Amino acid sequence: MAFFLCYNIDMLFGTHVSAAGDMAEAPARAAEVGAECFQFFSRPPQGGTGKPVTDELAKRFIANCKKYKQAEWYVHAPYYINFASANNRISYGSISIIREELERASLLKTKYLMAHLGSAKDLGQKKAMTQTVDGLAKMLKGYKGYTQFLIEISAGAGSVIGDTFEEVAEIIERVEKKLRKPKLIGVCFDTAHAFASGYDLRTKTSVNATFKEFDKVIGLNRLKMSHCNDSKAELGERKDRHENLGKGFIGLEGFKAIVKHPKLQKINLILETPKKNPIDDPKNLKILKQMRGK
């Protein structure tokens, strides 16, 4: 039931929108602010069960994506996921919830589902990595759905897992080796998280260097989409603090370099910037579209 919309451009811009009330209204909310693609939560991000994805809901959702000319859509996993928790209720719950989210997202013909993997504070780095790898392998075993799972680059706060390219690459390699399935897992690059973790994105030169390193360590073929957020935290400060474009420490020059980067033109950008004012999303999207047009 997949469909594809024709654009004369490659890189598309979107934002995270609310799916509260009626999930099928999310595409209209995205179109209202000028988005070409969008991201949403399919269940409450802080806890609670998600509304069942019935055949009727899935049909209305997909029909509205087409009606409102949304090229792709993505699901963000809940925030409470932690594959490395010493609490079995949390670690095993993370496995079952993400698998369930993948199945739900597949019914909605969602392109990608991304998740933060959790924190190593309970177990220490080595044991946490092993438990995370084992948990991801269990979560993905036998999965044949439409939606691809992505690891999201983390901001490096505390003992967070997945804040370096090397750590993400190791997790992917170990999980895929365990399942004997290459090209199974992709990556979501969050600009604010990467910047806070020490990857410079402020200039064309630094953007080129950062993605050259990403390609060397992880591989650009793994990069499927990016969260496009300026950062209230300074370079390497290891704090997850999103800011509107041009208002943070990355700055517009860095985002223009990302938008114009020749090797990133198949990667769509999703805003997770503050929504303090109804014009914030339209304003940020306009900035990106202007950069694309130059």
Domains and CATH numbers, the chain: 13-293 (3.20.20.150)
Q: What angle do CA 78, 239, 39 make, to 5 degrees?
A: 35
pLDDT 10s digits, 88-117: 999 999 999 999 999 999 999 999 999 999
pLDDT 10s digits, 223-275: 999 999 999 999 999 999 999 999 999 999 999 999 999 999 999 999 999 99
d(CA 160, CA 167) in angstroms, rounded, equals: 11
Give helix 252-260 / helix 280-293 axis angle, nearest 10°. 50
Q: Which residues are annotated as a binding site for Zn(2+)?
A: 76, 116, 152, 190, 193, 227, 240, 242, 272
Give the position of tokens 């036998």.
Answer: 142
pLDDT at 242: 98
Question: Average pLDDT, stretch 278-293?
Answer: 97
> Which class for 84: exposed (0-12), middle (13-18), buried (19 or more C-beta within 10 A)?
buried
pLDDT 10s digits, 30-42: 999 999 999 999 9
Pairing of the two strands 73-76 and 268-271: unpaired
pLDDT at 212: 98
Closest by Cα among 221, 217, 183 to 199: 217
Question: Average pLDDT, stretch 141-165?
Answer: 95
pTM: 0.95
Q: What would you report as the CA-atom Rg of the chain, rounded to the nearest whole angstrom?
A: 18
Say if residues 240 and 280 touch (Cβ distance below 8 Å). Answer: no
Question: Average pLDDT, stretch 7-11?
Answer: 66
The answer to whether residue 4 scores a pLDDT higher than 60 is no
Closest by Cα among 101, 111, 99 to 3: 111
pLDDT at 293: 87
pLDDT 10s digits, 156-210: 877 999 999 999 999 999 999 999 999 999 999 999 999 999 999 999 999 999 9
Is the Cα dihedral 3, 268, 102, 64 positive or negative?
Answer: negative
Closest by Cα among 156, 169, 142, 131 to 239: 156
The answer to whether residue 2 scores a pLDDT higher than 80 is no
Name the pLDDT band for 3 (thresholds 50, 70, 90).
very low
d(CA 73, CA 28) in angstroms, rounded, equals: 12
Instruction: 255-258: list long-range contacts, CB under 8 Å, 24+ apart.
Output: 255/191, 255/228, 255/230, 255/287, 255/288, 255/291, 256/204, 256/291, 256/294, 257/201, 257/203, 257/204, 257/207, 257/208, 258/191, 258/201, 258/207, 258/226, 258/228
pLDDT at 157: 79
Tokens of 156: 């490096």
pLDDT 10s digits, 25-74: 999 999 999 999 999 999 999 888 889 999 999 999 999 999 999 999 99
Per-residue b or e along 183-221, where b marks 16 or more CB atoms closer than 10 Å to that residue's CB: ebbbbbbbbbbbbbbebbbbeeebbeebbeebeeebebe
pLDDT at 294: 56
